Structure 1
Amino acid sequence: MNGSQPATDLTTVLAADHRQLDRLCTELELGQGSPENRKDLADHLIAEVVRHTVAEESFLDGGDRDLAEADRLMRQLEGAGPQEPRFERLLGGLIRAVRRHVRGEGPEAVRQVRLACSPERRSELGEQVVAARDAAATLPHPDLADRMPQADQLWPGPGFVDRARAALCPPDDGARSASG
């Protein structure tokens, strides 16, 4: 890799998250697809924001106002149907909060990790984030819904944000600190 950071370096993982969140926001801003398809894409954005937030919160001190605003909007959005007028209003607010994070606090968080952690620690933390994501339940493809017990699905709807967060944050995981 000749001096470049490994794919599991936490700064690389977080920066890749920012690019993915930005792409999802752009796709939603294009406004294409049926309301149901937009709801599915919004649910995907919510799942990605939760995953990213958990990764940043787990290893950084202090809060991010934009991610806190996104969390508030995601909780409201999870109860809104795609045909409801408030759906697009809430989705627009979520996109704006995510964009502010991606362009403001997000890069600062990456810089904080770079300054606070050795390359070895960043690699270790990045591996932990990737492993947590791989182990967490994800949204099943709609075609699997009739073949997978509901208890095993991380389905969208009321409580989706909390279920996604719980899947990514096992109790007493001991990985809540960037020091080490």
Structure 2
Amino acid sequence: MNGHPPATDLTTVLDGDHRELDRLCTELELGQGSPENRKDLADHLVAELVRHSVAEEPYLGEDGDLAEADGLMRELEGAGPQETRFERLLGGLIRAVRRHVREEGPAAVAEIRRTCSPERRAELGEAVLDSREAAPTLPHPDLADRVPQADQLWPGPGFVDRARAALRTPASG
């Protein structure tokens, strides 16, 4: 074995999430694309962040960057891309995500490594991946036309709550 945890290890899953969240923030910070495309990309960031936070929340305190991001996501889901508050809220969300990816997230991953056996981490990672596979998704805007509509979770008011509920509901049969 190469010394790296398997792909299903919860720490590997969360580290991968952190890299993807960071990449999406960078893409948004570049500021390219129409306002509508930026809204689609922001919705994709929100969807990825909800997926990540559902997996990581049990290992974090309640007052952290993800809690701040949660409030910003809820405000952002009701903001149109042409509204002045959209970019302000998005900037706040990006800052909260960046803080989480650099500080809070790695601390949670280290805590999981310290407190969970490799076997338990593999079980937890598998459970997270299974729940994600069963839940509808919101694709990256560049892929939206290639993902069947039935498999997508469309944004809008209540999106954060609907996405959380879908991820927390165990897959049936």
The alignment-based identity, stated in percent, is 76
Give the AA of the match of 2:27: E
* Aligned-pair CA distance for 1:61: 5.3
C-alpha offsets along residues 50-73 of structure 1, whole Å, 9 cap, x if unaligned? 00000012x425325100010000
| Aligned 8 A contact 1:51 1:165 in 2 | yes
Q: Which consecutive residues of structure 1, in runs of 5 or more, have no partner in the other structure?
A: 174-180
Partner of 1:15: 15
Give the AA of the match of 2:74: R
Partner of 1:164: 163
Residues 1:64 and 1:56: Cα distance change in structure 2 (over 3 Å) = farther
Residues 1:10 and 1:64: Cα distance change in structure 2 (over 3 Å) = farther
1:41 equivalenced with 2:41 (yes/no): yes
- Structure 1 CA distance, aligned partners of 2:60 and 2:99? 19
- In the TM superposition, 1:94-173 aligns within 5 A as 94-139=93-138, 142-143=144-145, 148=149, 153-170=152-169
Q: Which consecutive residues of structure 2, in runs of 5 or more, have no partner in the other structure?
A: none
TM-score norm. by structure 2 comes to: 0.90
- Structure 1 CA distance, aligned partners of 2:60 and 2:39? 32
Q: How many residues align?
A: 168
Structure 1 vs Structure 2 CA RMSD: 2.0
Partner secondary structure for residue 98 of structure 1: helix
TM-score norm. by structure 1 comes to: 0.87
* Aligned-pair CA distance for 1:160: 0.5
More helix by share: 2
